[in-house]
Structure 1
Amino acid sequence: MRVDILASGSSGNCIALTTNETTILIDAGIAKTKIEKRLLEVGIKPNSVRGIFITHAHSDHVKGLPLANKYKIPVYAGEREWKNITTVDEDLIRPIGVGGIFGCGHFIVNDFNVHHDAIDPRGYVVRTLDNFKVSICLDTGQVDKSMLNAMRHSDIYIIEANHEPRMVEASDYPNSVKARILSHVGHLSNEQTATALKELVIGKGEQIYLTHLSSKNNLPMLAEKTVKRELSKKGYQAGNHYELEVI
């Protein structure tokens, strides 16, 4: 499976997964024209996208959904999340209940609940027909046991490492925004992400992508070091037991 992270962060999120000529997108949080351009830059024709799976309806995850209307791409999102998604043609809407299973070209997609201040936010597990597994966990304030169980035994983990709490506390954000980020329905800290990965990674050569880093409240080197430190406690070293990339 090929992973192309077309955008990541508070300015927009969009991930392309491709196998056997089938491409799906996880989120479409940058302008439609930018998604088209970035798809073409990585060799993917926009009209070959078979589905768009939305984690939640915040603008940095849905801004580019007019892409679906242009190319007649089905859009999947939590049943209640559609209340805040208004830019998709009715015939392309695919509401999903918890634990739904969807075939999309050469992919099989499952969803799982996450903890974020949206109506019905989801994470996704994507498998190929030969059972290669990718887990995508973006905006969430915590990782619970059911989330860990959904993501276990993945070959690729795409997970947010949003912030360092001390940087959030020292920032010039209003107290209400600080509280939101740090809450159980906010975003994952580097330490929370590292703890989850320590639980998940078994040293079989997994690929880890750390995504959705805050440009103001985190540093790529800090996120990377925090995860490596936790995984080293299990005797795992980057390059030998797993691969790590900070986006």
Structure 2
Amino acid sequence: MKVDILASGSSGNCIALTSGKNTILIDAGIPKTKIDKKLVEVGIQPMNVRAIFITHAHGDHIKGLPLANKYRIPVYAGEEEWKSIQGVDEELKHHIKKCKSVDLESIGFYIQPFKTHHDAFEPLGYVIQDFDGDKCSIALDTGHVDDEMISAMEYSTIYIMESNHEPKMLENSNYPPSVKARVLGHVGHLSNEQTAEALSKLINGVGEQIYLTHLSSSNNMPMLAQMTVMRALAKKGLKAEKDYKLEVI
């Protein structure tokens, strides 16, 4: 499975997963013209995008959804989350009910949604498997990681997780108190430590690929996010490049 993270962060999120000649997108949070351009830059023809899966309906995850109408791409989202999604042609809408799996056998993907914890109607993470045996778990925008999320994501070959902020940096920032409370809350965003703790439960040292995403530009630093995860995994005796690979987006 080829992973291309086209955009990450509060300005927009979009991940392309390709198996064979078929691609699916997880979120479409940048303008459709930029998605078009970035797909071509990584060698993907936009007409080969077969489905779009939405984690939740905040603007930085759905801004580019008009792309679906342009190329007639089916869009999948939690049933309740469709309350916040507009502008998608009716025949392209697919409602995911009670985290029911989505079998796209004809294009080589099997998708299992799982519940996340964010201030949206029905936020979801996704576990995507292809016919080559790769398993990619994606958990963005979530205030915490519970046992059910760990169970859904375990034994993946690829992990794409947010590592949004460093709490001390956030607390000392110029953000209004209400925004600080939201980010730090139970349905906010993961801190570096929370992400590291989750990954320490998931990584077995068999060459897994980790991508840290959705870093705050003002309340985090790539090296800090990276070192926090590496330190947690080192406690398990795991070393980067030898037992797993780590990239900060």
Pairwise same-fold verdict (TM > 0.5): yes
- How many angstroms apart in 1 are the aligned matches of 2:226 and 2:133? 28
* CA–CA separation in structure 2 for the residues paired with 1:130 and 1:242: 19
The 3-state SS of whatever aligns with 1:44 is: coil
Matched with 1:171 is: 173
In the other structure, the counterpart of 1:95 is: 95
What secondary structure does 2:60 align onto?
A: helix
2:211 corresponds to 1:213: no
**Partners of 2:99 and 2:180 in 1: CA distance:** 32
Residue 56 (str. 1) matches residue 34 (str. 2): no
C-alpha displacement of 1:186: 0.1
CA contact (8 A) 2:138 2:159 kept: yes
Structure 1: gaps of 5 or more residues: none
What does 1:132-171 align with in structure 2 at a 5 Å threshold?
132-171=134-173
Structure 2 equivalent of residue 38 of structure 1? 38
Q: Report the residue type matching 1:79 in the other structure.
A: E
1:188 is matched with: 190
Deviation at 1:103, TM superposition (A): 2.3
Query: In 1, are the aligned partners of 2:192 and 2:228 still within 8 Å (CA)?
Result: yes
Given that residues 98 and 113 in structure 1 are in contact (C-alpha distance below 8 angstroms), is that contact kept between their aligned partners in structure 2? no
TM-score, scaled relative to structure 2: 0.98
Q: Calculate the aligned-residue CA RMSD, in Å.
A: 0.6
1:128 aligns with 2:124: no
Matched letter for residue 131 of structure 1? G
In structure 1, C-alpha distance between the alignment counterparts of 2:166 and 2:173, rounded to whole Å: 11
Query: Letter of the aligned partner of 1:94 in structure 2?
Result: H
Paired residues of 2:78 and 2:99 also in contact (CA < 8 A): no
Q: Deviations over 1:91-146 (max 9, x none)?
A: 00001013312123111011000000000000000001243100000000000000
Residue equivalent to 1:117: 119
- Runs of 4+ aligned residues of structure 1 deviating over 4 Å after TM superposition are none
Q: Does 1:82 align with 2:82?
A: yes
Once residues 101 and 71 of structure 1 are traced to their aligned partners in structure 2, the CA distance between those partners, rounded to angstroms, is 24
Q: Which amino acid aligns with 1:19?
A: S
Distance 2:41 2:131 in 1: 27
Q: CA deviation at 1:225?
A: 0.3
The alignment-based identity, stated in percent, is 65
Gaps of 5+ in 2: none
Contact 2:163–2:192 (CA<8 Å) still a contact in 1? yes
Distance 1:62 1:122 in 2: 14
Partners of 2:55 and 2:61 within 8 A in 1: yes
Stretch deviating more after TM superposition (129-138 or 199-208): 129-138
Give the letter for the 2:97 counterpart: G
Question: 2:227 is matched with which residue: 225, 228, 237?
Answer: 225
SS of equivalent residue, structure 1 residue 67: helix
Q: CA deviation at 1:65?
A: 0.0
Structure 2 distance, partners of 1:214, 1:75, is 27
User: Which amino acid is 2:154 matched to?
Assistant: R
3-state SS of paired residue (2:98)? coil
TM-score (norm 1): 0.99
**Distance across 1 between alignment mates of 2:240 and 2:93:** 41
Indicate if the aligned counterparts of 1:135 and 1:154 stay in contact, CA closer than 8 A. yes
